[in-house]
Structure 1
Amino acid sequence: MKLRKMWLNINGANRVFACNPEKDSLADVLRRMGLTGTKVGCGTGVCGSCSVILDGKVIRSCTKKMRTVEEYSKVITIEGIGTPNNLHPVQVAWMNCGAVQCGFCSPGFIVSAYGLLLENNNPTREEVREWFQKHRNVCRCTGYKQIVDAVMAAAKVVRGEASIEDITFQLPEDNEYYGKPVVRPTALAKVCGLADYGDDQELKMPAETLHVAVAQPRIAHHAKILKIDTSEAETMPGVVKIITHKELKEAGGTNMMAEGQFHERTTVMVPSRKILAEDKIFRYGDVVALAVADTKDHARAAAAKIKVEIEQLPEYLSYLDAVMPDAMRVHEDTPNIFSMQPVMKGVGLEDPAKVQEVIDNSAHSVSGSFHSTREPHLTIEGTTVQAYFDEDDYLTIQCKSQGVYSSIGRIGNSLGVPKDKLRIVLNPTGASFGWSTNAGDICLAGAAAVVTKMPVALSMSYEEHQHFSGKRCPSYSNGRVACDENGIITAAEFDIGMDHGAYSWGGDDIMTKPARFSFFPYKVPHVAGLVRIANTNHNFGTAYRSYGSPQAYTLSEALMDMLAEKAGIDPFEFRWRNIARPGDTNINSYPFRQYPMEEMMKMMRPIYEKAVQEAKAADTPAKRRGVGISWGGFNVTEGGTDSASAAIELAPDNTFIKYDTYQELGQGGDIGSLMLTLEALKPLGVTPDRIRLVQNDTKLCPDSGMSGASRTHFMSGKATIVAAEKLLNAMRKPDGTYRTYDEMVAAGLETKYYGKYQTVSVPGLCRLDPNTGIGDPTPAYTYCLNLAEVEVDTATGKTRVLRFTCVDDVGRVGNIDAVNGQAYGGISHCIGFALSENYHDVKKHANMAGAGVPYILDIPDEINVIHFERPDEEGPFGSSGASEAFQSSGHMAVLNAINNACGVRVYEMPATPEKVKAGLNIIAAGGKVEPPQKYFLGSELYDELEEIKANPVKFGGDDFFIPLGGASAERFF
């Protein structure tokens, strides 16, 4: 290896260093020098998180090889733009406009924006968007709107038209913080590039830390493993250990990840997933071994030398393949269809076939078959974990996790470490959207630490991460719905098959979601439905924002539009006639917990009517314009067994320490906890600077539960109220004033109080009956009414979303910037889901760009979110949940708008230009775009429902959660 000594002028100072000019990128050099504000996400120049300014030009430093960088070039990184004590207007604007969520992309965006303002300090919004498109800056959290807002605000200061104070949120003098845009506590570090995410933590670990690389053969989706040959890898430079399942077992681990059983109809009785593959490869991303070495490069080189001999087995890459009668079992202990949930209502309860009769005898009916894709989360930060034994001999794992306590349950006994000696710590996190509910990466790093007894750091390339991490379950569905001559729904039937990929954990829970959210929030008097879930040999299904409900809306919101058209009724008016009103029941035969539907539609109606008029006026043969509508929503909490804890401590300096595991993954776990604590302690007049958050460390914090199921603000908020009331009661003197810390100690009073809240206190909650689908699992819901306005280029079939409007009900808003950010971000994911995002072709979809991540010009600048702030009856301070409803059904507003624009209904997502163009060609030839041939989903719907009625299973009730594989019983959303 031949190195080169170089000088660069970095952030105004001349710096000298040595590098490998052929191998090192500019990002490598900067990060080795401690300038870790330059983040590396994709590693292939398609995400912009590594943006720096080189000789006056914004470049992506992860692909800029040092051999192409001239000596004495001038480099500006995020650290050279502003510091915590001397912020640049762009950084101030980022913090105060809600442009910081997970923050991983923020340094790259801020550097890019700084470069724009050097060239043009008076840009239009469209020029800002074109600049970020040109420089390939990707944000997966914000939907880009607040980012453009921040650039426009900063530009005013740069031009001298506004002061820093003008763009800074001023704390209210009356201490009324709730609902206001209080800045996130973590925002300052993020905008300065000082937040240490996973790979930054790795660089700053002690020198003796070992590095771990995965051996991910990627030679088959399904195969018997005949031999794992590690001999050459073991002789590679710097190698300390090659770890297979054998070495982990010798160290005391079982190699079997813990799984829980959640549904009475599941056929899965043993865990299906191993940490390191033993006898079989079940999917393309399976890991067979770990290479542990003194450097990351040595570890990766050794991993590449691990050889695997296989015997190819049949590969079932979709639900349709796996449920064919002649398909072999993916896992020998269970049929491929491993769980199902029926839904029967009205006449369907006495005889499911009578629903068919109602539909046949109705004035109008439509049917269709639909497919939703295996949507990838596409977080900018991938998989990176550190593990070590701490001073108390806890196996400590620093990671990305949506539930630090849940991760302990999912590790189970797999590592051979007692669960009470496991410690999970959440790193500053570059988003998740659901994939980090799974503990596979945590187990890999833990295995390396257990075997070597040394601190280790594991970091995957983005391609490795893409193949390793779970995805949204694809679905195949058939449905029919009917209405009378007045457009009132009479009955619906549906049959939905979900593809859970190679591993079954959680699949028997997710398949209950379409059984709850198909035809939500409408009144449907008679229902016969069935949801099934199966193992395949593709990537495993895992949580993703709005977990399980987009698959339902893909069916029902298409059928609602189709039936409106059949009945000759405007799609908005058709929904107006059919929304549930007080007293009406959902498809699970229970009243809706809330009925905001009428008011939300009243708020949307004038916007819809104006959009329709504008679309008609702008419609041309070359550029067809259309408007689409969709209803959506999601549950709040994990149901009747959910619980959360929090603690508040009065410190010696009379400030307050808040302890919880309100996991911060970009959605606002930090600001959410702060807003709840401020409101709970409002009698004391506490200001934000007097609250310190201690979060997301299982050794220090009580269990607030998972950050999922739109539960955390609701559940942690209720626990915070209990803790605050205990503390306030202890501090309160007889005269109504409050004790100081010294007075509390003098009186012998505790200064730290715990609060716990359990949904068991909510009357009437019950799980879905596994034989009928009747049930009322959660105390609250969130609601979204979506409106998409699109333009279809008839020459190419390309769809552009011009404007998106959402009216929501999330209860009372806790922090307006955080909730808006969740809305904008969720909507951007919906647009990507509708038009481009997919993980099916493991070669084509291996990186962000190939998998269809939306860039800024793919998302409209006009995203209008209107909050119908109906205070929730159960939620803390009137708040409900937020986030997930915003990604439940927005994709269907886009697909319905395409059909409205040009007559092409896309039945199989995503609506790529090629698909839309093919539909246009069919219409031009005088044909009609028809749904695909009815998907084969195993037994016919009514035969299966009759079988379920004839052979009911015992209903286990709310305490049914059965531990498997040594896992403790745990909640799952």
Structure 2
Amino acid sequence: MFVTMIKRNFVINGTLKFVTFEEGDTLADLLRRLGLRSVKIGCNAGQCGSCSVLVDGDVVRSCIKKAKDIKEHSAIETLEGMGTAKALHPLQQAFITYGAVQCGFCTPGFLMSAKALLQANPNPTRQEVREWFNKHRNICRCTGYKPIVDSVMAAAAVMRGEASMEDITYHYEEGADIYGTSHPRPGSLAKVLGVCDYGEDFAAQMSDEALHLAVVQAKVHHANILGIEYNEAENMPGVVKVITAADVKGSNILRIIPPLGSPHYYSDGLDHPIICDKKIFRYGDVVAVVAAHTRKQARMAAEKVKVIYEELPAYLTFMEAAAKDAIRVHEQSPNVYIEQPLFKGGDTREIFKTSEYSAEGSFSTTRQPHLPIEPDTAQAYWGEDGVMMIHCKSQNLYGNIAALADSIGLSKGKIRLVQNTVGGSFGYSMSAQMPALVAVCAMATDKPVSLTLSYPEHQHYTGKRSASYTNARLACDKDGKITALEFHMGIDHGAYSDASTTLTTKTIRFLGYPYNVPNIRGLSQMCFSNGNFGIAFRAFGSPQAYMASESLIDMLAAEAGIDPFEFRYINAAREGDLSPNSMSYRNYPMREMLDLMRPYYKQWKEEAKRKNTADKKYGVGVSFGGYHVGKSHDSAEVALELNEDGSVSHYNTWEEMGQGADIGTLAHTYRCLRELNLRPEQIHLVQNDTGTCPNTGSASSSRSHHMAGWATKIAADKLLDAMRKPDGSFRSYSEMIREGIPTKYFGKYESPSDVGHIDKNTGHGFDSVGQNFILNLAEVEVDVKTGKAKVLRYRIVSDIGIVGNRLAVTGQALGGMSHCVGFALTENYEDMKRHGTMAGAGIPSINDIPDDAEVVFNETPREYGPQNSTGCSESYQSCGHVAVLNAIYDATGVRIYTLPAAPEKIKEAMNALNRGEAVRQERWDLGCDMFERLNHFEAKATAEKLK
């Protein structure tokens, strides 16, 4: 095939460089081929700004800018030309110091965009900074944007000569404890320099023998596969092989093993194929993979693969799939395949009859997409001793190996997972499907392989937050004390059962948390459908629960004529009150947190009233919640090794997703080894390679800080005991070797024996090692003409025990807030065409997220936690969306029952209210009588007691 090449001379990072490129190449293609890998390709559609570079001083999104359209001798600047490790640019230093770097994938684009801003406007206001990033479409999914603006403002002051680099640099005080400080993340330097290698960067370093992969995905929701025609594709230039299910050497099924204490489970867990062979279960299923010498060749050939389908009825909601006449999505399992009841106190039906006030509603949440800036990417190859090496975004390294072994046809000992630097995940990479897919292809070709999905492919391939449908009601007495709660939740978990049992028990923990609700009857049911499969997403299971319960709290407060904030104060759990699962709360900081928030609430309420106009309405909303930390029968292991130079290496698989596993590891290790007087740089982190690091468990359930923290303490005590001499001083490395004393020690922590699982018949139990709590306050503005809601201010009162690192925790809080705002107002995944892109799926831009956002810490020590602390991340995404919805109600008098609260939905509800009509809400038909099922489980519980 004839290829046209173009020659140009560009001044790249100050040096004249002669380059050639193909006519169709983008500037990003060219720059990355030149080795300038700070240029990151995320959306590849000009929507995220991760590829931003400067061309003659102007910000250019290089993924959509054709290289041929750039004039001869143009000056092109990338992050590689901004600063060095020994001479950082003020922007780079500020991004480190002020916590603007989390996963770091968007960081190069923001830094280059910010440089152009400060060249054009050396003294911008905060809003001008935000408008600039909004204009240039710089998107961040991690930080909530505020730390980025903080960093630009600080750097601008240095560049104007009003502050020095010293002023914006964090300085470690010799001998001081770094735990509880704002010590920067160890990994942030590489990220602000643009030298940190993500999956695509690692792929670029693979051997010339490496093959590039392209997937063939189903474009239907449910179908039998009648045939796959790929001869034409396999004969195209550069194609080595078209891989189908017939090439998989194992079972081709990712085995889902229900954990101990699972709810009633009616599935065999053998439902998630790596490559579909007989049937399509959801849009985006992989039916074949093309392996070729170049990515372009692989993609061109993938388009020629033809799949012949016999389409079947597609069930895209719980109600459709649970209907009596629905065919089974999986022949071996009923569509409703998990049930978990919850009993607390007495018969709620009788209590509702005698309660003074009650409120009820039907609520639904969307299949929320995770929307990381980096699409999924992985590589695989045969390593030494016949081990299959897999580099991926996994946040469940050892757990993924367990899921992979039978499915790909290798023993666990022959699989080694290495975590690439991750450009965001937020839970979807708990699934083993991507590591399995690349491993299968490497085994089928006996070649190194690399696969990076396009953003639409990523959207349709990776799991999502499960959609939910809940009918619920809540009652109180004349004084506003809650008397009873009833709920029936249907969870649409999509095509596969990944993490389904854990999700079911999560949902029943948080309806009524953190209040005293004395009487509860509830049922949570899980259903297969032909939607995208459900997978972990930060705050897994709790946003669906809080959608109902925190809305009902406001609704019931209105019925009782009590301010919703004070209603929460009346009902917040006190010492001795029991959780929804009939266990004591681990801590009772609820009223202290409300007292901290009350001044903000009162001030904002008064100001909102004064701001109201005919065109704009303002309201303030509250939500109270939190999350559980870890699980029962959990364990984490780490290792500490004394090195010859007196430094210490810490080995773990605390997966780094951008949340701060690096600084968490450093802070715990520094605190536990204080007696050695090490400097932070003397603690080396060796992380996330199952070939060299022990099993620390998954980065999920807010467990890692807690579990790895205790494991670190155990390992540190062993090392210190081994080093300690009879006189109390410590042996050196050479003394340890000379005396034959080992220099490496493992620490393994297991969850306490009193942490029992959730009872499958009653819902009683704790099933976690800790708890955290979050109180949210949001102010919204609603445009009366359009119905568009905008969050103006946000406050968080957080109680996670003693804060380990303030930069990391504040970053998690603000990032969680941004996800909550998106969940409430814009984010969705149901339209396969529209929601296949980052922008189409509703990712919030900087002007969608409030700059006026603060986190207030109420630090109740956790005596059961390492350093009196516990996990935090998922609490910040648990219930903030309901604070936004409650604020919309406060502003307009209309309640939104189904997410997202899009402008047309709010406008329609306001119009109905103006006509004197009730706001429309649908009563969900969840396919069974809840109390009939509860009677069944109550009888089972009684029978088991008698046994």
TM-score surpassing 0.5? yes
Partner residue of 1:970?
Answer: none
Write the mapping of 1:826-837 to structure 2, written as runs, cut at 5 A.
826-837=816-827
Whole-angstrom distance in 2 between the partners of 1:933 and 1:801: 27
Structure 1 residue 537 displacement after superposition: 0.1
Task: Name the SS for the 1:260 alignment partner.
Answer: coil
Structure 1 residue 385 displacement after superposition: 0.5
Contact 2:5 2:22 (8 Å CA) reproduced: yes
Q: Give the length in aligned residue pairs.
A: 941
Partner residue of 1:967?
Answer: none
Partner residue of 2:157?
Answer: 156
Judging changes above 3 Å, is the alpha-carbon distance between structure 1 residues 455 and 954 closer, same or farther for their aligned structure 2 residues?
farther
Structure 1 residues 300-325: Cα deviation after superposition (integer angstroms, max 9, x where no partner): 11111110000010000111111111
Structure 1 residue 213 displacement after superposition: 0.8
Partner residue of 1:256?
Answer: 253
Partner residue of 2:246?
Answer: 246
Is 1:892 equivalent to 2:882 in the alignment? yes
Is 1:287 equivalent to 2:278 in the alignment? no
Whole-angstrom distance in 2 between the partners of 1:765 and 1:188: 40
Partner residue of 1:203?
Answer: 204
Is 1:570 equivalent to 2:563 in the alignment? yes
Match for 2:243: what amino acid?
I
Is 1:622 equivalent to 2:621 in the alignment? no
Structure 1 residue 185 displacement after superposition: 1.1
Task: Name the SS for the 1:70 alignment partner.
Answer: coil
TM-score, normalised on structure 2?
Answer: 0.98
Task: Name the SS for the 2:286 alignment partner.
Answer: coil
Write the mapping of 1:754-903 to structure 2, written as runs, cut at 5 A.
754-759=746-751, 762-903=752-893
Whole-angstrom distance in 1 between the partners of 2:661 and 2:92: 21
Write the mapping of 1:485-884 to structure 2, written as runs, cut at 5 A.
485-637=478-630, 639-759=631-751, 762-884=752-874
Partner residue of 1:217?
Answer: 218
Match for 1:946: what amino acid?
N
Match for 1:847: what amino acid?
T
Structure 1 residues 909-945: Cα deviation after superposition (integer angstroms, max 9, x where no partner): 1001111111111122222314x23101111111111
Structure 1 residues 352-407: Cα deviation after superposition (integer angstroms, max 9, x where no partner): xx311211221000110001111000000011101011123210000001111111
Partner residue of 1:304?
Answer: 303
Whole-angstrom distance in 2 between the partners of 1:64 and 1:777: 52
Structure 1 residue 803 displacement after superposition: 0.4
Whole-angstrom distance in 2 between the partners of 1:933 and 1:429: 40
TM-score, normalised on structure 1?
Answer: 0.96
Structure 1 residue 767 displacement after superposition: 1.1
Q: Greater shift after overlay, 165-174 or 287-296?
A: 165-174
Match for 2:924: what amino acid?
Y
Structure 1 residue 763 displacement after superposition: 4.7
Match for 1:560: what amino acid?
I
Whole-angstrom distance in 2 between the partners of 1:606 and 1:688: 39
Whole-angstrom distance in 1 between the partners of 2:229 and 2:130: 51
Structure 1 residue 954 displacement after superposition: 9.1
Whole-angstrom distance in 1 between the partners of 2:677 and 2:353: 64
Match for 2:665: what amino acid?
S
Whole-angstrom distance in 2 between the partners of 1:705 and 1:787: 34
Contact 1:215 1:289 (8 Å CA) reproduced: yes
Partner residue of 2:355?
Answer: 362
Whole-angstrom distance in 1 between the partners of 2:394 and 2:519: 41
Whole-angstrom distance in 1 between the partners of 2:463 and 2:654: 22
Task: Name the SS for the 2:581 alignment partner.
Answer: coil
Structure 1 residue 505 displacement after superposition: 2.2
Task: Name the SS for the 1:259 alignment partner.
Answer: coil
Partner residue of 1:82?
Answer: 83
Partner residue of 2:416?
Answer: 423
Contact 2:791 2:884 (8 Å CA) reproduced: yes
Partner residue of 2:925?
Answer: 936
Contact 2:263 2:340 (8 Å CA) reproduced: no
Structure 1 residue 270 displacement after superposition: 4.3
Is 1:453 equivalent to 2:446 in the alignment? yes
Judging changes above 3 Å, is the alpha-carbon distance between structure 1 residues 746 and 714 closer, same or farther for their aligned structure 2 residues?
same
Partner residue of 2:64?
Answer: 63
Partner residue of 1:381?
Answer: 374
Contact 1:636 1:779 (8 Å CA) reproduced: yes
Structure 1 residues 199-228: Cα deviation after superposition (integer angstroms, max 9, x where no partner): 11111111111111101131x100000001
Whole-angstrom distance in 2 between the partners of 1:623 and 1:850: 26
Contact 1:264 1:954 (8 Å CA) reproduced: no
Match for 2:885: what amino acid?
L
Judging changes above 3 Å, is the alpha-carbon distance between structure 1 residues 270 and 151 closer, same or farther for their aligned structure 2 residues?
closer
Q: Greater shift after overlay, 407-416 or 563-572?
A: 407-416
Task: Name the SS for the 2:101 alignment partner.
Answer: coil
Match of 2:407 among 405, 410, 414: 414
Please tell me the root mean square deviation across aligned C-alpha atoms, in Å: 1.1
Task: Name the SS for the 1:424 alignment partner.
Answer: strand
Whole-angstrom distance in 1 between the partners of 2:202 and 2:880: 37
Task: Name the SS for the 2:550 alignment partner.
Answer: helix
Whole-angstrom distance in 2 between the partners of 1:933 and 1:550: 20
Match for 1:882: what amino acid?
C
Match of 1:946 among 925, 930, 935: 935
Task: Name the SS for the 1:413 alignment partner.
Answer: helix
Task: Name the SS for the 1:648 alignment partner.
Answer: strand
Whole-angstrom distance in 1 between the partners of 2:851 and 2:883: 17
Match of 2:18 among 13, 16, 20: 16
Match for 2:158: what amino acid?
V
Partner residue of 1:313?
Answer: 312
Match for 2:237: what amino acid?
P
Q: Greater shift after overlay, 260-269 or 562-571?
A: 260-269
Task: Name the SS for the 2:780 alignment partner.
Answer: strand
Match for 2:435: what amino acid?
I
Contact 2:53 2:60 (8 Å CA) reproduced: yes
Write the mapping of 1:314-333 to structure 2, written as runs, cut at 5 A.
314-333=313-332
Match for 1:667: what amino acid?
Q
Whole-angstrom distance in 2 between the partners of 1:739 and 1:406: 38
Match for 1:632: what amino acid?
G
Whole-angstrom distance in 1 between the partners of 2:635 and 2:221: 39
Task: Name the SS for the 2:439 alignment partner.
Answer: helix
Task: Name the SS for the 1:63 alignment partner.
Answer: coil
Task: Name the SS for the 1:841 alignment partner.
Answer: coil
Q: Greater shift after overlay, 63-72 or 150-159?
A: 63-72
Task: Name the SS for the 1:560 alignment partner.
Answer: helix
Whole-angstrom distance in 2 between the partners of 1:167 and 1:324: 61
For structure 2, which runs of at least 5 residues remain unmatched after alignment? Answer: none
Partner residue of 1:468?
Answer: 461
Partner residue of 1:267?
Answer: 266
Structure 1 residue 747 displacement after superposition: 1.4
Structure 1 residue 264 displacement after superposition: 4.4
Structure 1 residue 528 displacement after superposition: 0.4
Structure 1 residues 679-698: Cα deviation after superposition (integer angstroms, max 9, x where no partner): 01011111111011000000
Q: Greater shift after overlay, 432-441 or 772-781?
A: 772-781
Whole-angstrom distance in 1 between the partners of 2:210 and 2:69: 32
Whole-angstrom distance in 2 between the partners of 1:736 and 1:681: 14
Structure 1 residues 39-88: Cα deviation after superposition (integer angstroms, max 9, x where no partner): 00000000000000111110100000123211211111111111222210
Judging changes above 3 Å, is the alpha-carbon distance between structure 1 residues 954 and 436 closer, same or farther for their aligned structure 2 residues?
farther
Whole-angstrom distance in 1 between the partners of 2:826 and 2:314: 25
Partner residue of 2:8?
Answer: 6
Whole-angstrom distance in 2 between the partners of 1:270 and 1:667: 30
Structure 1 residue 183 displacement after superposition: 1.3
Task: Name the SS for the 2:273 alignment partner.
Answer: coil
Partner residue of 2:915?
Answer: 925
